[in-house]
Amino acid sequence: MGQVVVISTGGTIASRWQGSGFAAEARGGDVLATATVPEGVTVRVVDLMSVNSARLTTAHQLTLLRAVREVLADPAVDGIVVTHGTDTLEESAFFLDLHHDDPRPVVFTGAQRPLEAPDGDGPRNLHDALLTASSVRDLGVLVVFNGQVHAARGTVKVQTLDADAFADPSGSRIADVTADGILIHRRPQRPAPLPLPAAVEPLPRVDMVMHHCDGDPLLFNAAVAAGAQGIVLVATGAGNATPEIGAAVEAAVSRGVLVALTTRVPTGPVAEIYTQGGAVDLAAAGAVLTGTLRAGQARIALLSALLSDSDPAGRARALRHTLGAAPAPATADLSAA
């Protein structure tokens, strides 16, 4: 065990009462003071931002990614903990995971209850995240919550208020935090990391459109008209919509818009089974199926692909790469510090 850097970004774990509701305002040192630091771990705090995570933007996420790279440039750092709001934690964690190229862990955590709540879950989560960040290697970006360690890919918020807030609905957690340390069950599968995105302005617009009974292409076409370079189609079932939406997808793809297909169903992959506007037709129209990634993370995969290349064909290749799951390089010891 050694030095862990805590990057504070706000969220419920840093929230205090504002008279009519809670909002992030506490500094990272205040948050850290609530937790027990594991024996042998030294902690340095970086106050990067203090926002409720529903307000996060791509610019915020790029700032966080670059801050992580800067911290990991110091070989004395053993790992990073990011304290983050739970609303969009799954998006930021996956964004960093797609670009993370270091064996040292980046561990996201937060809280469902505010900073000064008598039954707050933040102190335990932060302790467990510090322990994880100081004692594992080659697992990519992780989410630690309620004594469980999850891979960033596939992990989403599954409870609005309960402390057991995160899970991969289509998979299993990779480790548990125990009295004896981190008990690892499996190694996450990750594609080769994408390079750090170049500074570009304006940042690409990526929208999400959900299909439903009576759904038509109006909102999908509105996203194209608004300048979206990527659209996530949140379809029904295994990835199904209508022939009219299929035609809208084909027209958008022909204009260079990158379209990703996911489902509003909580568990399971999208699959080419049905025609008449189903995933068979949507894939033929140029939509890229996203496996078990749900809407928020499918959008992040699109975003990273758009930031990686300016050519539509290159962007489509990058998107398919982010959706792959090639095994990470083997290491001698998963739990070595």
Identify which has the larger pLDDT, 336 or 42: 42
Looking at the predicted structure, is the pLDDT value of residue 331 above 50? no
The pLDDT of residue 326 is 36
Q: CA distances (Å), 309 to each of 95, 227, 241, in order?
A: 16, 17, 29
Joined tokens for residue 214: 């009576």
Cα–Cα distance for residue pair 315/91, rounded to 1 Å: 19
Catalytic residue among 12, 58, 109, 155: 12
Record the pTM.
0.94
Looking at the predicted structure, is the pLDDT value of residue 144 above 90? yes
Looking at the predicted structure, is the pLDDT value of residue 10 above 80? yes
Cα–Cα distance for residue pair 181/191, rounded to 1 Å: 28
Cα–Cα distance for residue pair 296/266, rounded to 1 Å: 12
Say if CB 8 and CB 81 are below 8 A apart. no
Mean pLDDT of 263-269: 97
Q: Which of 131-140, 286-295, 309-318 has the lowest mean pLDDT?
A: 309-318
Query: Which tens digits make up the pLDDT trace of 62-92?
Result: 999 999 999 999 999 999 999 999 999 999 9
Strands 288-289 and 258-263: parallel
The pLDDT of residue 337 is 34
12 is catalytic: yes
Instruction: Output the average pLDDT for the chain.
Output: 94
Looking at the predicted structure, is the pLDDT value of residue 334 above 50? no
Q: pLDDT-derived band of residue 1, with 50, 70 and 90 as boundaries?
A: low
